[in-house]
Amino acid sequence: MSEIPPTDDSRLVSRENFQELLADAKLTIPESEHNDFRVLLSALDEAAKHLLQLDDEQPTVDLELYPRINIHIPDGKDTDKGGWATKVTVVCTKPKNSLLAGRTVALKDNIALAGVRCLNGTPPVGDAWIPTVDATVATRVLDAGATILGKAACENGCFGGVSDTACTGPVDNPWAPGYSTGGSSSGSGRLVASGQVDLALGCDQGGSIRLPAAHCGLVGHKPTWGLVPYTGILSLEATIDHVGPMTKTVADCALLMDVLAGYDGMDDRVPRMVKHGSLGFVKGIEATLGKKEKPLEGLKVGILKEGFESSRMDPGVEKLVRAAAAKFEAYGATVTTCSIPLHTESAPTWMCALPMAGMRQGILGDMTGRKQLFMTNRIQKTDGLLSQAAFDAYGPGGQNTFLRGRFLQKKYGPALHARALNLMRRLTDEYDKAFAEFDLLVMPTAPMLTQKTMTREQKVAEEAGPLRLLNRNLGVTHNTAPFDFSGHPALSLPIGFASPADDPGVKLPVGMQLVGRQYEDLVCLQAAAVWERENDWQTIYAGDL
């Protein structure tokens, strides 16, 4: 391959193609320079063709070490009321350790598992995508002796907070049939809470680990941004991508964090100095629980005033969270109210920041600018647009994100996204100022209780359009989304039940969110472990307080 191809006109980028290039870019170039640029572009074209002939650089999966058995799509009786998208059995024949020996795991269905379809909650346009790689987190749980039992259903494109948008069907709340598990890691929440698996992995860009955890009575931890590798997972937007554990207990959450966290050599989100297996979360909570009296002595807890100021704040949720937070004093902590006024301003900032980058990365699959593993067998040429079939396959959440991104891009350009990110940095600084005084911030995970799902038939019969369907999500991420942008660790802990005003016979789980300093995930886990030991959350009901 020569650097500059021959200047023979027949070998160059055609005059017509060059003119189209200029027209698309709305540019003019002097006629005398056209041939020079055609030669330069032809050299580039030769390089591109050569590159595409080379073997791709992808990790290989040793199927003798990690065999896949009985891959199948569950039938209507085998989905655990919507929890499963695809089932399989995967083990490591020579695990590196036994941390998860005998434990079963479900992966959210945006996490790559070679040879197993990955739907991302969206009906495939053509053949379903079948990854050829395993995500780092999948390999790590297998190396720790766990058995992966399949892919947990997730909401369409991971854009839903109510669990009835997945292409595989609604996911039913295990505590209250007909109610949502929350989203978008809906199947992960369902499968752990219903006992189908011991542990699950979820992904969180606006609350998608913590919200299903809160609504299903689980511990759900969104780690510090960049603590757990996102390698081999479909991204929504790299600066807010998180993957983490969803478990029944804090101890299991800490154990899974020990297995997952640390640099993997591929994901540029993870600092090199964070070595895999070096963080000692289990030892840390065991040390705290070993203190017989006042195990949280010296801990300063701030109850975030603005965390209770959502327009959709449920009185039962507020009552439970305030009562649960006050109990930290009995365990040795000091508990006072704190205020971060900018917290309530995060919603419009997040609303503008997410679509512009999320459209390009999450919907169009353009992850350029990152140092990471690119799953090239999924990347398609889009020219910045979706086909009609691909647009139709998304539910209202993905369609809205795409249209919002296009609208903001065309009307305001990159200056708006830059302003939004600067304001999010200001909010991050405000949280960090609070953490100069407090070790933890406490607030409701979700300000409201979970809501009823709608079947496809109900949506059609009631002519439920995008506005009605998307309005169900309003306010639910009031306390979760800000910490995706700020990157602080945030854990949802189950603290009791409350009943919706219009359905008093139903009891729904409520979660309390604990937020810590960046890379102090252990503090969240320690406080949660003490509260969990001292309280049986399943016996606590807001109506009794």
Q: Are residues 35 and 129 in the same domain?
A: no
Highest mean pLDDT among 11-25, 87-101, 410-424: 87-101
What does the pLDDT read at residue 101? 98
- 370-to-131, 267, 294, 450 alpha-carbon distances in Å: 20, 8, 45, 36
184 catalytic residue (yes or no) = yes
**Phi and psi at residue 496, in whole multiples of 5°?**
150, -170
Residues 449-458: tens digit of each pLDDT: 999 999 999 9
Q: For the chain, what percent of residues have pLDDT higher than 70?
A: 99
Is there a single domain that holds both residue 126 and residue 255? yes
pLDDT class of 9 with cuts at 50, 70, 90: confident
Closest by CA to 531, choosing from 330, 335, 336, 299, is: 330
How large is the average pLDDT for residues 70-93? 96
Which pLDDT score is estimated for 2? 52
Same-domain status, 94 and 20: no
How confident is the prediction for the chain on average, in pLDDT?
95
**Sequence-separated (6 or more) residues with CB below 8 Å from residue 250:** 219, 285, 493, 525, 528, 529, 532
pLDDT at 387: 93
Residue 380: what pLDDT?
84
| Mean pLDDT across 100-113 | 98
Task: Answer yes or no: do 269 and 160 share one domain.
Answer: yes
Q: What is the mean pLDDT of residues 139-161?
A: 98
pLDDT of 4 > 60? The answer is no
User: What gap in Å lies between CA 533 and CA 378, rounded to an integer?
Assistant: 45
Interval 539-543 mean pLDDT: 98
Residue 4 and residue 139 in one domain: no
CATH number for 166: 3.90.1300.10
Provide the pLDDT confidence category of residue 271 given band limits of 50, 70 and 90: very high
* Angle between helical axes of 250-260 and 281-289 (0-180°, round to 10): 150
* Residue 353 domain flag: no
- CA 398, CA 359: separation in Å to the nearest integer? 9
Which residue of the set 42, 184, 188, 486 is catalytic?
184
> Mean per-residue pLDDT for 102-119?
98
Q: Are residues 39 and 91 in the same domain?
A: no
The answer to whether residues 169 and 74 touch, using CB atoms and an 8 Å cutoff, is: no
Q: Count CB-CB contacts under 10 A for residue 344.
A: 15
Report yes or no on 360 lying in a domain.
no
246 and 210 housed in the same domain: yes
Q: Which of 42, 87, 108, 163 is catalytic?
A: 108
In this prediction, residues 383-403 reach a mean pLDDT of 94
User: Which of these is catalytic: 185, 186, 208, 499?
Assistant: 208
pLDDT per residue over 287-304, tens digit each? 999 998 999 999 999 999
110 found inside a domain: yes
The answer to whether 535 and 327 are in contact (CB under 8 A) is yes
pLDDT at 293: 93
Lowest mean pLDDT among 288-297, 298-307, 378-387, 413-422: 378-387
Q: What is the mean pLDDT of residues 455-479?
A: 95
**Is residue 7's pLDDT more than 80?**
no
Q: Are residues 109 and 13 located together in one domain of the fold?
A: no
Residue 106, pLDDT > 70, answer: yes
Q: Are residues 455 and 526 in the same domain?
A: yes
The three-class DSSP label of residue 518 is coil
Is residue 370 assigned to a domain?
no
**Residues 6 or more apart whose Cβ sits within 8 Å of residue 462:** 454
pLDDT for 3: 57
- Interatomic CA distance for residues 345 and 362, integer angstroms: 24
Q: Are 15 and 97 contained in the same domain?
A: no
208 has catalytic annotation:
yes
Q: What contacts 243, CB < 8 A, 6 or more positions away?
A: 108, 111, 137, 201, 202, 203, 204, 223, 228, 229, 230, 233, 260
SS (H, E, C) 122-191: CCCCCCCCCCCCCCHHHHHHHHCCCEEEEEECCCHHHCCCCCCCCCCCCCECCCCCCEECCCCCHHHHHH
The pLDDT value recorded for residue 5 is: 57
What range defines the domain where residue 74 resides? 68-346+421-544
- Is residue 224 assigned to a domain? yes
Pairing assessment for the beta strands 300-304 and 334-338 based on DSSP bridges? parallel
**pLDDT value for 51:** 93
User: Total domain count for the chain?
Assistant: 2
- Residue 1, pLDDT > 60, answer no
Is the pLDDT at 474 greater than 70? The verdict is yes
Least trusted range by pLDDT, from 112-126, 239-253, 365-379, 424-438 = 365-379
d(C-alpha 255, C-alpha 263), whole Å: 17
Q: Is the pLDDT confidence value at 112 over 60?
A: yes
Q: pLDDT tens, 213-233?
A: 999 999 999 999 999 999 999
Residue carrying structure tokens 């439920």: 464
d(CA 411, CA 426): 25
Position 326 pLDDT exceeds 80: yes
What mean pLDDT is predicted for residues 358-380?
91
The pLDDT, as a whole number, for residue 382 is 84
In a domain, 438, yes or no: yes
pLDDT for 119 equals 97
Q: At what angle do helices 281-289 and 521-534 cross, to 10 degrees?
A: 40
Are 112 and 135 spatial neighbours (Cβ–Cβ below 8 Å)?
yes
Residue 361 covered by a domain = no
147 assigned to some structural domain: yes
Asked if 22 and 152 sit in the same domain, the reply is no
Whether 13 and 78 map to the same domain: the answer is no
